[in-house]
């Protein structure tokens, strides 16, 4: 009777192990059929190769992004506008100053002055928030401050 009991336990154990092995084999076959490879080693090697290619592409994208960020610092990023009346007797604020600056506060200030005779336009180069050649008016300084 003990022998039959041990044989029954051994038989159940074999059935369980056989089920586990069949399930593992079915999983292995599905992996191989989906990847069209014959060995798990080939699948893992291909995954490692793909991972290395992706890592290199990410590094290339990072370098390109850093270059674009450096280049974009030179583009116009700040715009300031100040309306004002250049003469005390004229009504309304028809004159204005507009600034176009990059990230380092360098660019151009354009001053549009409206008079009875017409419109006069003046421009000044700006480097690091200061004029290179001419003194900035209060309105021009205010437009630079507003653009920040």
- Give the residue extent of every domain in the chain: 2-71, 78-147
Dihedrals phi, psi of 114, to nearest 5 degrees:
-95, 125
Spatial separation of the C-alpha atoms in residues 86 and 83, rounded to whole Å: 10
Spatial separation of the C-alpha atoms in residues 80 and 99, rounded to whole Å: 5
Helix (H) or strand (E) holding 112: strand 107-114
Angle at 74 between CA 72 and CA 77, to 5 degrees: 75
Both tokens assigned to 97 = 């100053």
- pLDDT at residue 92 above 90? no
- pLDDT at residue 48 above 90? yes
Positive or negative, the Cα torsion across 59, 62, 68, 70? negative
Model confidence, pTM: 0.57
Which residues does 85 contact at the CB level (< 8 Å), separation at least 6?
91, 92, 93, 94, 95
Spatial separation of the C-alpha atoms in residues 43 and 27, rounded to whole Å: 14
Spatial separation of the C-alpha atoms in residues 31 and 39, rounded to whole Å: 9
Spatial separation of the C-alpha atoms in residues 6 and 138, rounded to whole Å: 102
81 against 129, higher pLDDT = 81
139 against 54, higher pLDDT = 54
């Amino acid at each position: 009777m003990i022998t039959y009991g041990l044989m029954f336990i051994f038989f159940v154990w074999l059935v369980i192990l056989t089920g586990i092995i069949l399930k593992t084999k079915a999983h292995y076959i599905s992996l191989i059929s989906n990847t069209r490879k014959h060995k798990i080693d080939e699948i893992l090697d291909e995954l490692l190769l793909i991972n290395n290619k992706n890592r290199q592409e990410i590094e290339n994208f990072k370098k390109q992004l850093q270059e674009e960020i450096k280049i974009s610092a030179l583009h116009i990023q700040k715009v300031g506008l100040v309306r004002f009346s250049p003469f005390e007797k004229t009504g309304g604020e028809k004159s204005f100053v507009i600034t176009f600056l990059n990230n380092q506060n360098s660019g151009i200030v354009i001053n549009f002055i409206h008079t009875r005779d017409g419109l006069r336009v003046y421009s000044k180069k700006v480097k690091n928030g200061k004029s290179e050649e001419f003194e900035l008016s209060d309105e021009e300084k205010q437009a630079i401050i507003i653009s920040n």
